[in-house]
């Protein structure tokens, strides 16, 4: 590839439309005769519905219809990820059972949102309440049946014997709370029927997943459903799978014979799109006196709902991040009267790394080895679990470059030894890693006689920069400036592409766009004499446009190499010794993630991940009332995400990494590696500042004082 556009900080293709407000998100969609749906949710964690009285709601002004289990047709189950695209297998409004507080029980449709909300408040539900398990600690542990096709438990070597023999031993339990994604745009669907055909505008990470799930649920042919999602106001995993409100919008529209918009409220976001399960992680480390790891045992307990299983493999990071001959990983689940959890940015690694990277810091302190030196000492030359060679691994450079940029050598070893005025200052660091993923994807590139070039693919841009990077890839493949190229995405009428999760979009769709562009180019050149532009050639032949098609799929290298991205995080905190307030004052993240298509949008992604990790460390926690099994303060003051005032300038750096094995573009993906290890780096900095080891997130003034 001639690197002209790729690798340069091209401005976002969709920047102007977003800044000026012309970008149409799902919540902005307006159709003629549009009606509005409001969801009514359960207020008990478990039991039976004795009665749903909708009479008052049905008589209320503007009401067009009410759906509940009493009048909802039978719906088919859709398997959950990765067997199918559903976030929750159990379809909504099918019977009188309630499995968690906040479960959808009814939908009210009215001519205006105000009327729908007013009527929804009039729905009267009587329950026969049963005994609920409302916390992870209160239930029985059971082994999951599998974790995305992997065994939940694994052992290499003899960890117990190695622990018994270890010169340095550490045994600690780390806990993380329920976390919610809280994208700015809530879950939202607009459904419009045209005879037997259904069009859905949906805020989603997976247009074709929505199409397939809704078609399956309603017993329709896939080609009778079209899903459109040109802009998504954030997702972080909450829109990676298809949740019940999407099909409710379709049912509501059919019920009232009008297009319907259904937007979840912020409070409903706590129970409608999954969440990150809380974890209890026991970590045992064995090491030689010099810090060389000899044993890791990582045992994780997470929760799932009472009616189905979801588990993210929080312990897996301990198998592959460091060289260690004896490693055991174990996952257990507890069934709780709560919604089914789901993926959330770096599912598994984000929380697993908090335990592992905190424990490494504890080991560094115990063995008197600098935290960076300790990690370099345990660097894995090959992937330790499978024994495969890395396709590329820039972790050592990440440590070195990060330490240099941050000034790590000026760190004094002792806790409480650095101060700024009356504040305690702490420096901490952690490693990051995330797998390289890709799936089959298709794209088309059209070269027009007027010189314009159009890229199309049924992928989606979550705000990550897909519109921009796909334009860059096509521009370079064709040797034209980016200004000539536009992209259309987020529509199931376009060539199929996978879900935008697992940091896989650039690595999956990029190679498809590249090959579609080359295909289009060769079609023009077949007509050509030397030296003319595409437009001149097409015009001379009287051809309006040519179209190239590209299909890309994961290559055979995936079985020969271990493919991961890596990074290193360095954090500085200042702690107020009287108030216990922790402020992040400096942060540096360095990443080896293959080719960076656009350093501007990529930097923005990494900042987002680091901000997410800062929330994990310091503010984010969903609190559930044990007795009621209900989220306490379901709003953005009850659940605090970091704001601008909480975040310092963040130094982001990418190692120039050329990986010939991952895919044709050398792209590894960046969305998720950014958050992995951030919470540990901050917790380690808090320890350095205060001497207090906090093993329970988030680190609040209450925990520190």
For residue 313, give the H/E element and its range. Answer: none
* Minimum gap (Å) between residue 28 Cβ and ligand MOS: 23
Q: CA 511 to CA 443: how far, in whole Å?
A: 9
Number of residues that bind ligand MOS (CB under 6 A): 9
At which residue do the structure tokens 């896989």 appear? 504
Query: Is the Cβ–Cβ distance between 329 and 319 less than 8 Å?
Result: yes
673 near ligand MOS, rule: CB under 6 A: no
* Minimum gap (Å) between residue 502 Cβ and ligand MOS: 4
For ligand MOS, which is the closer residue by CB, 209 or 501?
Answer: 501
Instruction: Pick the closest to residue 76 from 207, 251, 311 (CA basis).
Output: 251
Residue 486, exposed/middle/buried by CB under 10 A (0-12, 13-18, 19+)? Answer: middle
Instruction: Pick the closest to residue 614 from 652, 648, 577, 591 (CA basis).
Output: 648
Secondary structure string (H, E, C) spanning 45-79? CCEEEEEEECHHHHHCCCEEEEEECCCCCCCCCCC
Catalytic one among 185, 362, 572, 672?
A: 672
* Minimum gap (Å) between residue 671 Cβ and ligand MOS: 7
Q: CA 605 to CA 690: how far, in whole Å?
A: 31
16 CB-near residues (< 8 Å, 6+ apart): 22
Q: CA 655 to CA 665: how far, in whole Å?
A: 16
* Minimum gap (Å) between residue 215 Cβ and ligand MOS: 22
* x/- track of binding to ligand MOS for residues 120-159 (CB under 6 A): ----------------------------------------
For residue 625, give the H/E element and its range. Answer: strand 624-625
For ligand MOS, which is the closer residue by CB, 40 or 346?
Answer: 346
Q: CA 589 to CA 568: how far, in whole Å?
A: 6
Q: What is the DSSP letter of 696?
A: B
Instruction: Pick the closest to residue 88 from 240, 224, 191 (CA basis).
Output: 240
For ligand MOS, which is the closer residue by CB, 72 or 342?
Answer: 342
Residues 358-390, buried b or exposed e (16+ Cβ, 10 A)? bbbbbbbbebebbbbebbbbbebeebbbeeeeb
Positive or negative: CA dihedral 362, 367, 371, 372: negative
Q: CA 454 to CA 441: how far, in whole Å?
A: 17
For ligand MOS, which is the closer residue by CB, 291 or 341?
Answer: 341
HSE (side-chain half, CA atoms, 13 Å) at 565 = 34
Catalytic (active site) residue 672: yes
Q: CA 371 to CA 295: how far, in whole Å?
A: 18
The neighbour count for residue 338, using CB atoms within 10 Å, is 30
* Minimum gap (Å) between residue 655 Cβ and ligand MOS: 23
State the residue number with the nearest CB to ligand MOS. Answer: 237
Q: CA 135 to CA 627: how far, in whole Å?
A: 10
Q: CA 548 to CA 516: how far, in whole Å?
A: 5
* Minimum gap (Å) between residue 350 Cβ and ligand MOS: 9
For ligand MOS, which is the closer residue by CB, 237 or 458?
Answer: 237
For ligand MOS, which is the closer residue by CB, 177 or 384?
Answer: 177
Q: CA 228 to CA 335: how far, in whole Å?
A: 35
Q: CA 314 to CA 299: how far, in whole Å?
A: 9
120 CB-near residues (< 8 Å, 6+ apart): 38, 39, 40, 57, 106, 108
For residue 434, give the H/E element and its range. Answer: strand 423-435
For ligand MOS, which is the closer residue by CB, 108 or 273?
Answer: 273
For ligand MOS, which is the closer residue by CB, 206 or 654?
Answer: 206
* Minimum gap (Å) between residue 288 Cβ and ligand MOS: 37
Q: CA 271 to CA 39: how far, in whole Å?
A: 12
Query: Is the Cβ–Cβ distance between 242 and 85 less than 8 Å?
Result: yes
For ligand MOS, which is the closer residue by CB, 187 or 501?
Answer: 501
Site for ligand MOS in 326-385 (CB under 6 A): 343-345, 347
For ligand MOS, which is the closer residue by CB, 343 or 563?
Answer: 343
Query: Is the Cβ–Cβ distance between 137 and 74 less than 8 Å?
Result: no
Site for ligand MOS in 217-276 (CB under 6 A): 237, 240
Q: CA 104 to CA 119: how far, in whole Å?
A: 16
* x/- track of binding to ligand MOS for residues 484-523 (CB under 6 A): -----------------xx---------------------
Q: DSSP letters along 252-266, please?
A: HHHHHTS-EEEE--T
* Minimum gap (Å) between residue 504 Cβ and ligand MOS: 8
242 CB-near residues (< 8 Å, 6+ apart): 78, 85, 86, 87, 204, 206, 209, 210, 213, 214
For ligand MOS, which is the closer residue by CB, 215 or 343?
Answer: 343
540 CB-near residues (< 8 Å, 6+ apart): 532
For ligand MOS, which is the closer residue by CB, 324 or 343?
Answer: 343
At which residue do the structure tokens 């790590």 appear? 408
* Minimum gap (Å) between residue 345 Cβ and ligand MOS: 5
Positive or negative: CA dihedral 404, 406, 411, 414: negative
For ligand MOS, which is the closer residue by CB, 347 or 629?
Answer: 347
Site for ligand MOS in 198-217 (CB under 6 A): 205
Site for ligand MOS in 631-670 (CB under 6 A): none
At which residue do the structure tokens 């174990």 appear? 330
Query: Is the Cβ–Cβ distance between 432 and 613 less than 8 Å?
Result: no
Q: CA 354 to CA 463: how far, in whole Å?
A: 26
* Minimum gap (Å) between residue 343 Cβ and ligand MOS: 4
Binding site residues, ligand MOS, CB under 6 A: 205, 237, 240, 343-345, 347, 501-502
| Residues with a known catalytic role | 672
């Amino acid at each position: 590839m001639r690197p002209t556009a790729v690798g340069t900080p091209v401005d976002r293709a969709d920047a102007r439309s977003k800044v000026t407000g012309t970008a149409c998100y799902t919540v902005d969609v307006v159709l003629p005769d549009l009606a509005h749906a409001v969801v009514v949710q359960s207020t008990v964690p478990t039991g039976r519905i004795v009665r749903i009285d909708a009479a008052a709601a049905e008589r209320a002004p503007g009401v067009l219809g009410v759906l509940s289990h009493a009048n909802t047709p039978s719906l088919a189950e859709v398997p959950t990820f990765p067997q199918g695209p559903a976030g929750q297998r159990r379809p909504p409004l099918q019977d009188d059972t309630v499995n968690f507080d906040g479960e959808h029980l009814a939908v009210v449709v009215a001519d205006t949102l105000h009327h729908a909300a007013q009527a929804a408040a009039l729905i009267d539900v009587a329950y026969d309440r049963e005994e609920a398990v409302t916390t992870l600690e209160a239930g029985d542990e059971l082994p999951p049946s599998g974790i995305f096709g992997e065994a939940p438990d694994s052992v290499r070597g003899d960890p117990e014997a190695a622990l018994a023999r270890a010169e340095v031993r550490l045994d600690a339990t780390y806990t993380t709370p329920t976390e919610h994604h809280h994208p700015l745009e809530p879950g939202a669907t607009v459904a419009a029927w045209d005879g037997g055909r259904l069009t859905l505008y949906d805020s989603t990470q997976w247009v074709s997943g929505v199409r397939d799930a809704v078609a399956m649920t309603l017993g329709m042919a896939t080609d009778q459903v079209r899903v459109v999602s040109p802009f998504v106001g954030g997702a972080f995993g909450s829109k990676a799978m298809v949740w019940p409100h999407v099909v409710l919008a379709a049912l509501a529209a059919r019920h009232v014979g009008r297009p319907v918009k259904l937007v979840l409220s912020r409070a409903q976001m706590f129970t409608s799109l999954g969440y990150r399960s809380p974890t209890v992680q026991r970590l045992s480390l064995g090491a030689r006196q010099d810090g060389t790891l000899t044993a890791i045992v990582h045992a994780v307990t997470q929760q799932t709902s009472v009616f189905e299983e979801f588990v993210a493999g929080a312990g897996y990071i301990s198998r592959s991040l460091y060289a260690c001959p004896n490693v055991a990983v174990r996952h257990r689940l507890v069934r709780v009267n709560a919604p089914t959890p789901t993926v959330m940015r770096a599912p598994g690694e984000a929380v697993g790394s908090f335990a592992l990277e905190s424990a490494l810091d504890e080991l560094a302190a115990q063995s008197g080895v600098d935290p960076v030196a300790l990690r370099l000492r345990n660097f894995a030359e090959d992937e330790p679990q499978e024994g495969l060679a890395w396709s590329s691994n820039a972790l050592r450079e990440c440590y070195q470059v990060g330490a240099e940029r941050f000034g790590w050598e000026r760190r004094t070893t002792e806790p409480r030894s650095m101060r700024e005025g009356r504040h305690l200052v702490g420096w901490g660091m952690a490693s990051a890693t995330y797998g390289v993923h890709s799936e089959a994807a298709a794209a088309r590139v059209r070269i027009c006689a007027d010189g314009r070039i159009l890229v199309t693919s049924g992928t989606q841009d979550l705000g990550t920069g897909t519109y921009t990077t796909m334009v860059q890839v096509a521009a370079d493949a064709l040797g034209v400036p980016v200004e000539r190229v536009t992209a259309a995405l987020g529509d199931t009428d376009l060539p199929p592409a996978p879900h935008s999760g697992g940091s896989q979009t650039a690595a999956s769709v990029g190679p498809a766009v590249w090959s579609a562009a080359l295909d289009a180019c060769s079609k023009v050149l077949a007509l050509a004499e030397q030296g003319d532009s595409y437009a001149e050639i097409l015009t001379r032949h009287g051809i309006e446009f040519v179209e190239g098609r590209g299909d890309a799929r994961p290559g055979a290298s995936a079985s020969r190499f271990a493919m991961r991205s890596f990074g290193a995080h360095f954090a500085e905190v200042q702690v107020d010794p009287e108030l216990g307030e922790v402020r992040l004052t400096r942060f540096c993240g360095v990443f080896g993630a293959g080719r960076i298509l656009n350093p501007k949008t990529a930097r923005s992604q990494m900042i987002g991940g680091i901000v997410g990790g800062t929330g994990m460390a310091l503010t984010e926690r969903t609190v559930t009332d044990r007795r009621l099994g209900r989220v306490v303060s379901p709003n953005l003051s009850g659940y605090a995400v970091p704001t601008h005032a909480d975040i310092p300038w963040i130094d982001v750096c990418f190692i120039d990494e050329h990986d010939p094995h991952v895919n044709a573009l050398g792209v590894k993906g960046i969305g998720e590696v950014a958050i992995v290890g951030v919470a540990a780096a901050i917790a380690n900095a808090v320890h350095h500042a205060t001497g207090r080891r906090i093993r329970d997130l988030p680190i609040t003034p209450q925990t520190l004082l």
